[in-house]
């Protein structure tokens, strides 16, 4: 996957709701390659030329191919499934505001930070963000997750 997850952050048994706390924060970093975009496009069937046709993309307001917004946002799933809560997590919801395009070769960092909790229901809410290598916020959102332990 070419992503960088701090191995000390991994908890393959998952965090229980009692181990999760407001302010808990985890991130994953990935440089998005052309192969990543083409694999994603083929997998989901979104072959919009702004993503896969360099000549067409030159004629758009972006001036070059851009990464699918949902490919970029999919790294929130890595945070939920591998970091907070981790193994056995249930993803209940996600909002996303797509603020800037991600371009081929950009290095993105997706972060989840716990902002509220409902321990009696084993639910945590995280602010989810993606920034590029320049520190620009490209996606801002919120995830609702359940720790099953």
Tens digits of pLDDT across the chain (149 residues): 455 665 566 666 789 999 999 999 999 999 999 999 999 999 999 999 999 999 999 999 999 999 999 999 999 999 999 999 998 899 999 999 999 999 999 999 999 999 999 999 999 999 999 999 999 999 999 999 999 88
Q: Into how many domains does the chain fold? A: 1
The model's pLDDT over 12-55, given as tens digits with 9 standing for 90+, comes to: 678 999 999 999 999 999 999 999 999 999 999 999 999 999 99
Q: What is the CATH number of the domain that holds 69?
A: 3.10.129.10
Question: What pLDDT does 130 receive?
Answer: 98
DSSP per residue, 58-100? HTSTTSS-B--HHHHHTHHHHIIIIISS-TT-EEEEEEEEE-S
Question: What pLDDT does 8 receive?
Answer: 60
Query: Domain range for residue 72?
Result: 3-146
């Amino acid at each position: 996957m070419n992503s960088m997850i701090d191995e000390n952050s991994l908890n393959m048994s998952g965090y229980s709701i009692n181990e999760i706390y407001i302010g808990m924060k985890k991130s994953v970093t990935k440089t998005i390659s052309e192969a990543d975009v083409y694999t994603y496009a083929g997998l989901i069937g979104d072959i919009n030329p702004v993503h896969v046709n360099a000549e067409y993309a030159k004629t758009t307001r972006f001036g070059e191919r851009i990464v699918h917004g949902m490919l970029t946002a999919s790294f929130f799933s890595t945070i939920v499934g591998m970091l907070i809560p981790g193994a056995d997590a249930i993803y209940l919801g996600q909002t996303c505001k797509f603020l800037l395009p991600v371009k081929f070769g950009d290095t993105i960092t997706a972060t989840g930070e716990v902002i509220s909790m409902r321990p009696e229901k084993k639910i945590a809410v995280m602010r989810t963000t993606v920034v590029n290598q320049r520190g620009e916020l490209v996606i801002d959102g919120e995830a609702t997750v359940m720790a099953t332990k």
